[in-house]
A and B are shown apart, each in its own frame.
Chain A
């Protein structure tokens, strides 16, 4: 009994950590974990890990979180020593880097006036990023005498850009996840940053996620009430097995009409990879809409042939052949075409889905037609492939957001979440 209490104390601390990691751990789980440890003991670390994982982790994703939490909490003696050594080595390297960066700053400081925050950020930059900055400084060195003010502002903007790039690298959520599970990593990474070799894996992943969403949506639809009209035919047929006694009544399910989907897809140079994945996703979702029409646009607009879209491997060829690939973006023109087309493309039973990064020529005109499109369609949604954290830097995003609900879709995970809202 005493043993169980000892385990309980340790395990309740561990349960707190698991909850911080996002696992839903109940007191009963901890009781069960303690009970099982009294049977198994602490001798074999792997056995303990598997036993606790069985009790605490309730899905594959939770198993991955559990694994790293366990390794951090129940350190072996060897691991503690190795960690201490590693920490000392990291500290030594950091000191060296700071000293070296300090020397470089002395030289830069003569030419550019940097504030303390910029100096601190510079010291923490990796070697390659510092080298890149120094190259810039050397290349434009001659300008310092001609226009010192302009040169200083330019250098400050280069600093800001380099630091922002570093910050974005650190914020890339897929980096950590990919080490644990490549599939999860791919879900969390920026779609535009997929390497060619990763594309087949991403496509297979899309099929899996789309299958899941289809299942969810179909279950949701089935669950939406069954209190329609009485189905006489089925009720009478069912009663034959009990000699004509109507012991069970069957009801018709009210028919839920799916919306018609109109997709307006930006295929200008920077958008083509995202558009390909997004369309592939939406095409796989047979539960989302009754029918769909897809329009591709850049400076002009064309309607995509639904048969060609069924084979998404040919998407790039289709886009290239249409002559609109890699050109600028004119959203206003595309929306005007949609609103003016006869017979009408948009009506109150249509969901208009716009896949674009909001960068367009003549934003004012685009916003005007966006309002018209919103008026004509039943529902309007905007999927934006730019990460949400960068929206504040792009003026057109704010303007579009004031008219249309915008959903961030820079990763496959976000794209899946967006498709659930369609």
Chain B
């Protein structure tokens, strides 16, 4: 696939990307390297995997990471109940060795996302979401899969990938990832979008929202992110929620009153809401009631 082909396929989706992101995705795809995406929460990291799956016409296999995730949840597990049942049924069978061998065959293997992604006949997009939430042991366990696209199951042996999945790992940097993992990946950092990109996202995702209102929302969100006193900066998802809420309430202009009513959609903690209220008060005091958002 060429760069232009990837571009035209991404254009078919509703994802707003820039040239740098396009190049990075192309490089990772061409080299067959896993792509590690870092950035603040809600900037669209997970969405990249969904969009790539759509653009490449592949299935998306998702592994959501959390504390305590282990290989039985991520890679495979033996179907113990079925194995026990077979033992009970075949109790009188003389060929014990054959029975033991059959118990550790594909029939009793429960595939989890990682195994599923490498045993798939068609290449898939594998999303390993929020890898920073998983333990360090799990991170180390992933290394074999990421560098060799193979996994080792003690009872069966090494399983090599039938097709190479396009692996995307995301991280919110809740903890630093190991050098070994980083070394195996291509890297991309997603920042909060600038004004133009934010507006483009609003237009693409919420085409029914009035253009003027969308511009006002985008500008207001940019200002909120630039305000140092705001602790939890609004993400793209919150921008979209806010615009949708304003639209649902039939508000056509972002006045101080409208902001006050709907601020909970864009700011998610009390300190930030108080900061916004204080700033609005100061602003209104300064312009003596002439302001309109």
Please determine whether chains A and B interact with each other in the same assembly: yes
Cβ of B3 within 8 Å of any chain A Cβ, yes or no, is yes
Contact yes or no, A247 B136, CB < 8 A: no
Query: Which single member of B2, B31, B67, B228 contacts A200 (CB below 8 Å)?
Result: B228
Expressed in whole angstroms, the minimum distance between the Cβ of A377 and any Cβ of chain B is: 30
Look across to chain A and name the residue whose beta carbon is closest to the beta carbon of B33: A32
By the criterion CB–CB under 8 Å, are A63 and B132 in contact?
no
Report if B122 contacts A (CB, 8 A): no
Is A278 located at the chain interface by the 8 A CB criterion?
no
Write the chain B residue with the least CB distance to A207. Answer: B231
Residues of B within 8 A of A243 (CB): 81, 84
Check B137 against A50 for contact (C-beta < 8 Å): no
Which DSSP category, helix, strand, loop or mixed, fits chain A's interface? helix
Q: Is the CB of B182 within 8 A of A59?
A: yes
Contacts of A36 in B (CB 8 A): 27, 30-31
Determine how close the nearest CB of chain B comes to the CB of A53; give it in whole angstroms.
8
Pair B228/A40 contact, Cβ less than 8 Å: no
Complex Cα distance, B187 from A211, in Å, reads 22
Q: Per-position contact with B for A50-65: 1 when CB-CB < 8 Å, else 0? A: 1101110111101100
Contact with A along B220-239 (1 / 0, CB 8 A): 00000000110100000000
- Which single member of B19, B132, B175 contacts A50 (CB below 8 Å)? B19
List residues of B (225-262) whose CB comes within 8 Å of A's CBs.
Answer: 228-229, 231
Which B122-167 residues have a C-beta within 8 angstroms of A?
132, 135-137
Q: Are A216 and B27 in contact (CB under 8 A)?
A: no
User: Given A219-B135, A242-B80, A247-B80: A40 and B186 within 8 A (CB)?
Assistant: no
Chain A residue nearest to B177 in the complex (CB): A59
In the complex, the answer to whether B175 meets A242 with C-beta atoms within 8 Å is no
Question: What is the distance, in angstroms, from A50's C-beta to the closest C-beta of chain B?
Answer: 4
A63 near B187 (CB under 8 angstroms)? yes
Whether B183 contacts A58 by the Cβ 8 Å rule is yes
Within 8 Å by CB of A39, from B30, B36, B135, B186, lies B30
The reply to whether B81 and A241 contact each other, CB–CB distance below 8 Å, is yes
Residues in B whose Cβ lies below 8 Å from that of A59: 38, 182, 187
For B229, the chain A residues whose CB sits under 8 A away are 200
User: Which residues from B are CB-within-8-Å of A241?
Assistant: 80-81
Number of interface residues of A (CB under 8 A): 37
Number of A-B contacts (CB under 8 A): 91
Interface residues of B in 161-191 (CB under 8 A from A): 173-176, 179, 182-183, 185-189
Roughly how many angstroms separate A207 CA and B26 CA in the complex, as a whole number? 35
Q: Does A93 contact B (CB under 8 A)?
A: no
Contact residues in B for A212 (Cβ distance below 8 Å): 173-176
- Min CB distance A195 to B, Å, is 12
Q: Of the candidates B84, B174, B228, which one forms a contact with A201 in the assembled complex, judged by CB atoms under 8 Å apart?
A: B228
B24 is an interface residue with CB less than 8 A from chain A: yes
> Cβ of B189 and Cβ of A63 under 8 Å apart?
yes
Which residues of chain A are near B67, meaning CB under 8 Å?
A: 222
Contact residues of B between 182 and 221, Cβ < 8 Å to A: 182-183, 185-189
User: Across the interface, which residues of A come within 8 angstroms of B179, CB to CB?
Assistant: 24, 58
Choose among B19, B28, B136 the residue that contacts A47 (Cβ–Cβ < 8 A): B19
Q: CA of A51 to CA of B175 in the docked complex: distance in angstroms?
A: 26
From residue A172, how far is it (CB to closest CB) to chain B in Å? 22
B23 within 8 A of A: yes
Known interface pairs A24-B179, A215-B175. Does A223 touch B188 (Cβ–Cβ under 8 Å)?
Answer: no
A98 close to chain B: CB less than 8 A: no
A211 touching B174 in the complex, CB below 8 Å, given contacts A54-B24, A204-B228:
yes
Is the beta-carbon distance between A54 and B174 smaller than 8 angstroms?
no
Asked if B20 lies at the interface with its beta carbon under 8 angstroms from chain A, I say yes
Q: Which residue of chain A has its CB nearest to the CB of B87?
A: A245
Determine the distance from Cα of A47 to Cα of B23 in the docked complex, in whole angstroms. Answer: 6
A60 partner, pick from B19, B30, B38, B183, beta carbons under 8 A = B38
- Min CB distance B173 to A, Å, is 7
Knowing A24-B183, A57-B187, A207-B231, the reply to whether A51 touches B23 (Cβ < 8 A) is yes
The verdict on A77 contacting chain B, using a C-beta distance below 8 Å, is no
A227 interface residue, CB < 8 Å from B? no
A145 within 8 Å of B by Cβ?
no
Q: Give the nearest-CB partner of B20 in chain A.
A: A50
Q: Is the CB of A51 within 8 A of B185?
A: no
In the complex, which residues of chain B have a beta carbon less than 8 angstroms from the beta carbon of A62? 187
What residues of chain A lie closer than 8 Å to B137, measured between beta carbons?
223
- Report chain A residues within 8 Å CB of B84: 242-243, 245
Whether B136 contacts A219 by the Cβ 8 Å rule is yes
Residue from A24, A60, A219, A242 having most chain B Cβ neighbours under 10 A: A219
Query: Which A residues between 35 and 78 are near B, CB-CB below 8 angstroms?
Result: 35-36, 39-40, 46-47, 50-51, 53-55, 57-60, 62-63
Ordered by A's residue number, 5 sampled pairs between the chains whose C-beta atoms are within 8 Å are: A24-B183, A55-B31, A58-B36, A63-B189, A204-B231
Given contacts A50-B27, A216-B175, A243-B81, 11 further A-B contacts (CB under 8 A): A24-B179, A26-B183, A39-B3, A40-B3, A47-B19, A55-B186, A58-B183, A201-B228, A212-B174, A223-B137, A243-B84
